[in-house]
Amino acid sequence: MAVDQDWSSVYPTAAAFKPASVPLPIRMGYPVKRGVPPPKEGNLELIKIPNFLHLTPPAIKKHCAALKDFCTEWPSALDSDEKCEQHFPIEIETVDYVSSGTSIRNPKARVVTLRVKLSNLNLDDHAKKKLIKLVGERYCQETDVLTITTDRCPLRRQNYDYSMHLLTVLYHESWKTEKWESEKSEEDMEEYIWENSCSQKNALDTLLRIKASENASSVTKEELLASEVVKNYRNSVIALKNEGETESNISQYKESVKKLLNIQA
Amino acid sequence: MVGEVQGCKLQCAAGFTCLRLSALLCFSDAVGKDQAGKVGAVQPGEEKLAWRPHSNLPVSEGGLQRSWRETLCQKNGKQELFSTSSVLSKDKDKSAASKDSTHEGVAKKQEDGAETPKQKLLDIIGNMKVEVTYRKKLQQLKASESKKQAMKQLEGLDSEGSVPQGIAEDTQRGKPLNPELVKAASAVASSLPHNKKQTVSELLAQLRRHEETTDKQKEGGTINIRNVISEMTVKKQSPAQRGARISGRISLQLDEDGQRIRRERSSAQPGDSRRSLKVGKRLNIFTKASTEPEHALKTVSSPTIWDLEFAKEVAAVTAQPPRNGFEEMIQWTKEGILWEYPIDNEVGMEDDAEFHEHIFLEKHLEGFPKEGPIRHFMELVICGLSKNPYLSVKQKVEHIEWFQNYFEEKKELLQEI
């Protein structure tokens, strides 16, 4: 083979290894004792394995150049991920399966996954909480992504329609307020609210009793609530409950309790 | 041999189109040959044919000539040419016969030319049957010479009457007509119990045949050739015939001679049958006369099977083996060996139903009671069905209906309980 021959015309498509066509001195196989791996001529090991001699970088360049005529340009306005997300907040994921076999069918191909960030949806506080309650596990707190996976229908397009239908229904339902939603109790709350909680009650009771035992001046609840120590306590408790136990949270709680109970230590 | 072939063709009794084909054959073979000899060969056969029952149409050479002229006359815009040619021929033919004024003949012709379609049909039927009366009349006529001469003149007039083709256009023949002959013919006809006009036409048809054969023998070949040439209009060839011929040529290069001949023959035959069936002026008996012009061959608008076959043949002949792997892959994809990329796992899977028909099945629960264990059970069934992607909507509905039937049957039992 001449040195300047075009390799992509020797191996245009996937083909078996031809030792006469490939000018490389390749050896492959288990060497006999005190020998070397067998040479490429008549080497079944080289023929058996799949090779990528048809996908050298220049060949791939040629493929891309040929395919370019059939491609449309990426829109220049979408040059960053944030812009893509801003203009196209919903992501649809479908999978096509390639296999070597007689049948082209694959039942897994009908699955459609829809992903959307709730921040892109127009939801107020109540709607967001309601929607999160409705979807349950499909919502991820950390990434604020709602994932809907549909595979109940036999065809992909039906599943896609169904997923869009679900998103629409969720959105509209979360904006509605039903009568029975007013019966939401403390257990149903998503986050800790200090107002009307036992912590508030206990703190106020304690403070009142302290005040009563010390002197006769009666202080109203509202004044107590407005006082700074109580506020501090409140914040620390909320932080603890909502965010979990971190060092800063606990130390903050300690300080607020000390101030509340007027303990110097 | 040619004459025999011709005779065979004539015995087919296929009609004028058949005659025309035979005329073409005659023409192709007769150029440069002795026309008289050929005609002579046909003559006895023609006589026999004339007396055969069911030979409804004149099948002689004279008949051919006449039919050529008539078909020529039918074509719009060509009457003048034909009339001149026919006049020329007729003038030469009739030089021996005694002729009188032409005007009466023309007038009479026009009268007869205005026959109704019904009359034409009757003429056909009349020509088909009754050789007996025919023979009798002929004998009577042959007895009187004057009548015979006059009838010769009348031949041209009633030739159209007996021939069930378009007559209206053929008013310019200019053939002289003897009123005595007409009177004689009508007298003969009225004497017999048959349809008057029919008998008259039959008589004249037979006489005409005789006349024309004599003319032909007198004339020689030139007039016939002229007629044939004038009849030889540019006919539209159907694409199938063209394709068949081209394919014949192509195959000549590749196949043996025998194969080529076979192919030509086979390609010619369907063309022949097609021409013979569709050619000929409509009688407008069953349907009102349509205004569409007559064509010798109607070209088919959509590609016929022969066109498709021809295309396939061309593709197979011109197809080169693939030069590289990509062309091989293209060929495999066309054949169906290779899947089409990008792969779609749902190729060919058709399901016209929408997602709501699969999932929202509550509307099928209308036949069930609104409350109770049955309802509860059916709701579970529906929930399961909606999650099943392997059934079609029809199958799901059938499931529900089965349950409905089952519960209907068990209703009595359930009510007892």
How many C-beta atoms surround the C-beta of residue B116 within 10 A? 10
The CA–CA distances, whole Å, from B334 to A133, B328, B338, B340 equal 53, 10, 8, 9
| Partner residue opposite B358 with nearest CB, options A54, A109, A152 | A152
Return the C-alpha torsion angle B401, B406, B409, B410, nearest 10: -140
- The answer to whether the CB atoms of B358 and A156 lie below 8 A apart is no
Q: Give chain A positions within 8 Å (CB) of B354.
A: 158, 161
- Contact with chain A for residue B356, Cβ under 8 A: yes
DSSP states of B347-404: TT------HHHHH--GGGGGGS-SSSHHHHHHHHHHHHHHT-SSS-HHHHHHHHHHHH
Name every chain B residue with its beta carbon within 8 A of the beta carbon of A155: 346, 349, 351
Report the alpha-carbon distance of residue B140 to residue A128 in Å, rounded. 117
Residue B250: is its pLDDT beyond 60? no
- Of the given ranges (A83-92, A203-212, B208-217), which has the lowest mean pLDDT? B208-217
- Residue B358 to residue A151, Cβ atoms within 8 A: no
**Residue of chain A whose Cα is closest to the Cα of B350:** A155
Rounded to a whole number, what is the distance in angstroms from the first to the last CA of chain B?
Answer: 100
- Virtual torsion, Cα A231, A237, A239, A245, nearest 10 deg: 150
Asked if B324 is an interface residue toward chain A (Cβ–Cβ < 8 A), one would say yes
B388-397 confidence digits (pLDDT tens): 999 999 999 9
Q: What Rg value do the Cα atoms of chain B yield, rounded?
A: 36
A53, A94, A95, A153, best to mutate vs chain B, most B CBs in 10 Å? A153
Cβ atoms of A156 and A105 within 8 Å: the answer is no
Q: Which residue has the higher pLDDT, B281 or A73?
A: A73
Q: B7 is written with which tokens?
A: 């005779």
Question: CB under 8 Å to A194, separation ≥6 — which residues?
Answer: A200, A234, A237, A238
List Cα–Cα distances, A36 to A86, B325, B340, in angstroms.
61, 35, 45
Q: List beta partners, residue A93.
A: A113
A14, A154, A156: residue with CB nearest B390? A154
Task: Answer yes or no: do A96 and B342 touch at CB < 8 A.
Answer: yes
Provide the pLDDT for residue B2. 47
Work out the angle at residue B320's Cα, subtended by the Cα atoms of residues B316 and B321, and round it to the nearest 5 degrees. 110
What CATH number labels A81-178? 3.30.160.20
ipTM over cut 0.85? no
* Chain B residues whose beta carbon lies within 8 Å of the beta carbon of residue A106: 345
* pLDDT value of position B23: 42
Place of tokens 């990329």: B341
Query: CA–CA separation, A134 vs A173, rounded Å?
Result: 9
pLDDT for B178 beyond 60: no
Instruction: For residue range A249-261, list pLDDT tens digits in order.
Output: 888 888 888 888 8
Where in chain A are the domains?
1-71, 81-178, 198-261
Structure tokens at B137: 């009349």
Which is more confidently placed, B3 or A45? Answer: A45
Mean per-residue pLDDT for A134-152?
92
Residues B108 and B102: their CA atoms lie apart, in Å, by: 10
* Cβ–Cβ contact B342 with A under 8 A: yes
d(CA B381, CA B392): 15
Put simply, the answer to whether B349 touches A155 (Cβ < 8 Å) is: yes
Q: List chain A residues with CB under 8 Å of B339.
A: 104
Determine which helix (DSSP H) or strand (DSSP E) holds A166, and give its type and residue range: helix A156-175
B325 confidence band (pLDDT: 50, 70, 90): confident
Nearest CB partner across the interface for A104, out of B328, B345, B354: B345
- Cα–Cα nearest to B228, from B25, B36, B2: B25
**Contact A104/B339, CB-based, under 8 Å?**
yes
Residues 81-120 of B with CB under 8 A from A: none
Q: How many CB pairs under 8 A join A and B?
A: 68
pLDDT by residue (tens digit) across B85-131? 444 444 444 443 444 444 444 444 444 444 566 777 777 777 765 44
Residue of B61 and A172 predicted with greater confidence: A172
Q: Which of B345, B356, B358 lies at the smallest CB-CB distance from A96? A: B345
Mean pLDDT, all residues of chain A: 87
